[in-house]
Amino acid sequence: MRAVCYIRDRLETLRKLGRGHRIVKATTTLSGLDPAYALSEQLPNAFTAKFVDDGRAVWLSIDGRAVGNRLTDACRVRDGYRFHDAMHLAFAVQLGWSPVLRDMLGCKRRSDPEFDECEDGGRACMIEESVCHLIHVHNRDFGNAAWDQTIDLIRRMVRGFESEQFLAQHWIESIKIGLSVQEELRCGRGGLVHGDRSKGILTVVKDED
């Protein structure tokens, strides 16, 4: 089935890529949720993620280490969802939050049993994955319109967890970053993404390998 692009030209932050790289930057950044924990229990302050796409499935590695699972769109319509790990990277860079990425990188906060179970455990990962799919569906159906209700739903989904502290503005900026990077990776058939949490930046680079 011919691939269908649902995301093109939907967000104000999207620009056409030339060769080389571009930077997707948030206008605000958060200090993150890690300062009280050892470095081994913190999301990395900087990283390089490599997305390899064969047209059907995507493999992800971070700092040279294979992480996560081989992802397909898992849908009869080829809609690019196989690149959705870019949204987890955006959450990590902008919010300092991603239980899914913590699980991939082995940096759960195990020294705190309550955080290990409640904030970094299976339920938190399921919530984050649900948020990612909700964002994908909204962008597919409505583009850049009517985000208020979706953001409100996301904030209700995370109520009772540490991520409830994030304001609507924080979610919106994270979503813009994630969708922008996701679309660039889809159009470029993969690539490299450099993340800098201190600046809230994801830099997309064409992988020439």
Residues 50-73 have pLDDT tens digits of: 999 999 999 999 999 999 999 999
Largest CA distance in the chain: 49
Average pLDDT, integer, range 38-42: 95
Average pLDDT, integer, range 157-174: 96
By the 10 Å C-beta count (0-12 exposed, 13-18 middle, 19+ buried), 205 is classed as: middle
The DSSP output letter for 114 is H
Average pLDDT, integer, range 181-197: 96
The residues, any chain, with a CB within 8 Å of residue 174's CB and separated by 6 or more, are 26, 87, 90, 91, 94, 95
Q: What is the pLDDT of residue 145?
A: 85
Which amino acid makes up residue 116?
D
Coil, helix or strand at residue 193: strand
What gap in Å lies between CA 97 and CA 116, rounded to an integer?
A: 14
Q: Which residues of 166-191 are buried (b: 16+ CB within 10 A; e: fewer)?
A: beeebbbbbbbbbbbbbbbbbbbebb
33 confidence band (pLDDT: 50, 70, 90) = confident
With the C-alpha atoms ordered 97, 101, 103, 109, is the resulting torsion angle positive or negative?
A: negative
What gap in Å lies between CA 79 and CA 102, rounded to an integer?
A: 26
Poorest-confidence range of 21-35, 154-168, 186-200? 21-35
- Copy the structure tokens of residue 64: 């040279």
- Residue spans of the domains in the chain: they are 21-205
Residue given tokens 């809230």 in the structure block: 200
**What's the pTM?**
0.86
Average pLDDT across the chain, whole number? 87
What gap in Å lies between CA 12 and CA 52, rounded to an integer?
A: 26
